[in-house]
Amino acid sequence: MKQLQCVVFAAVAAVMLVLPCFTADARAGSVTLNYANFPPAPTFPCVQMERWKTQVEKRTEGQVRINTFPGGTLLGAKGMMDGVIAGQADIGCLCMAYQPGRFTVTNAVSLPLGIPDSKTGSVVLFDLYNRYKPAAFDKVKVLTMFTTAPANIMAKGPVRNLDDIRGLDLRASGGAADILKAWGANQIGMPMSATPEALQKGVVQGLFSSLEVMKDLKFADDCKYVTMTNTVVYPFAVVMNQSKWDALSPEVQKVMMDLAREQAEWTGAYMDGHVENAVAWSKNRGVEFIALDDQQREGWQEPLAPIIEEWIKKARGKGFDGGGIVDTISGMIDKQGK
């Protein structure tokens, strides 16, 4: 009896050892990738993440599976780039405005150069990256880039003129932060993911970003006033750990590269439509939208004039062709507008 038990045990053990080899063989080349994102699932960076996942899984016919981690569960806003480089996540979505000194070239799309919408901003940013291939991305593979729609002021109280904004505690990052400062606001820097709590606790009286968050993060509950400045966009990048990328088959790599610019366009179009949606939704909840007439717009535009020149100087100091980058972006915006 003991002997029989031994034989049965050995047989079961042998099957258990060999079986995984067969199943692994059946899925030869299959790979699972972890994709980290910092804001909550309903926000646009996560919506585009799910769309990218679906497209990659479909187009690679199951060779690639993507596990998505929204809400900072795998990596947070400021640790995204270094976390992907270190391999804590295989793929990460980051907002470059949170580290403006690190991503000089790509953050230039956050200068007040007149990007009219997210579709334009996303394509311009993606093409700008490919034109310059900045060294800031040497340690990763860039999978796509995109921008928000232009930023507007969302606040607890009405901001009708530059006097109203002077000294007001408003949250923004990167290029958008420079604009708040030029308008005389008390600019406070923090990632979007920290903003709901800051608004609730009264650490800030509002924020300067794209309007879809009025709905997606329910800011319409606190911010009953929106001032339409349509000023600058925030730039995002999706990056992949370099050695994980190198280990992918050429076919899978091709699927991802074919998707890169398309994903930028898709995200831009989604964002633009969703902003419209969120504006209508907010109006229904009693939010007042404050429009500026042409003369007022000029007054708001005037303090921004030195920002571009100062950026060019600073970029030159770091060894970048600041003027050339600005001209390139302006040319790309014009071309998209035609």
Rule CB under 6 A: choose which of 152, 210, 231, 267 binds ligand 3IO. Answer: 210
CB of 205 to ligand 3IO, least distance (A): 16
Rule CB under 6 A: choose which of 115, 192, 252, 279 binds ligand 3IO. Answer: 192
- What value, to the nearest 5°, has the Cα angle with vertex 223 and ends 109 and 99? 30
Residues 217-246 that bind ligand 3IO (CB under 6 A): 234
| 60 vs 195, beta carbon nearer ligand 3IO | 195
Residue 220 region, left (φ>0) first, then alpha (ψ -120 to 50), else beta?
A: alpha
Residue 72 interacts with ligand 3IO (CB under 6 A): yes or no? no
Rule CB under 6 A: choose which of 89, 124, 213, 325 binds ligand 3IO. Answer: 213
Helix axes 305-317, 175-182, angle to 10 degrees: 130
Per the DSSP assignment, residues forming a β-bridge with 153 are: 208, 227
Q: Cβ-count burial of 85 within 10 angstroms (0-12 exposed, 13-18 middle, 19+ buried)? A: middle
Rule CB under 6 A: choose which of 33, 36, 45, 93 binds ligand 3IO. Answer: 45
Q: Which of 114, 71, 326 is nearest to 233 (CA)?
A: 114
Per the DSSP assignment, residues forming a β-bridge with 140 are: 241
Binding track over 74-103 against ligand 3IO, x by CB under 6 A = ---------------------x-x------
Number of shown-chain residues binding ligand 3IO (CB under 6 A): 14
| 60 vs 231, beta carbon nearer ligand 3IO | 231
Instruction: Round to whole Å and give the CA distance between 312 and 253.
Output: 36
Are 210 and 151 in contact by the 8 Å Cβ rule? The answer is yes
| 97 vs 179, beta carbon nearer ligand 3IO | 97
The 3-state DSSP class for residue 231 equals coil
Q: Which of 118, 154, 147, 146 is nearest to 272 (CA)?
A: 118
Residue 320 interacts with ligand 3IO (CB under 6 A): yes or no? no
The label of the residue with tokens 């900045």 reads 134
| 191 vs 268, beta carbon nearer ligand 3IO | 191
Residue 39 interacts with ligand 3IO (CB under 6 A): yes or no? yes
Q: Which stretch binds ligand 3IO (CB under 6 A): 38-46, 249-257, 282-290, 319-327?
A: 38-46
| 255 vs 287, beta carbon nearer ligand 3IO | 287
Q: Which stretch binds ligand 3IO (CB under 6 A): 22-30, 102-110, 208-216, 314-322?
A: 208-216
Q: What secondary structure letter does DSSP report for 303?
A: G
Strand 169-171, strand 186-188: pairing: parallel
Phi and psi torsions of 200, nearest 5°:
-65, -40
Rule CB under 6 A: choose which of 104, 118, 148, 267 binds ligand 3IO. Answer: 148
CB of 195 to ligand 3IO, least distance (A): 7
Residue 209 interacts with ligand 3IO (CB under 6 A): yes or no? yes
Q: Which stretch binds ligand 3IO (CB under 6 A): 37-45, 127-135, 272-280, 315-323?
A: 37-45
| 31 vs 228, beta carbon nearer ligand 3IO | 228
Instruction: Round to whole Å and give the CA distance between 25 and 161.
Output: 67
How would DSSP label each residue in 232-285? -PPEEEEEEEHHHHHTS-HHHHHHHHHHHHHHHHHHHHHHHHHHHHHHHHHHHT
The 3-state DSSP class for residue 16 equals helix
The label of the residue with tokens 């949170």 reads 98
CB of 193 to ligand 3IO, least distance (A): 7
Residue 121 interacts with ligand 3IO (CB under 6 A): yes or no? no
- Binding positions for ligand 3IO, rule: CB under 6 A: 39, 43-45, 95, 97, 148, 173, 191-192, 209-210, 213, 234
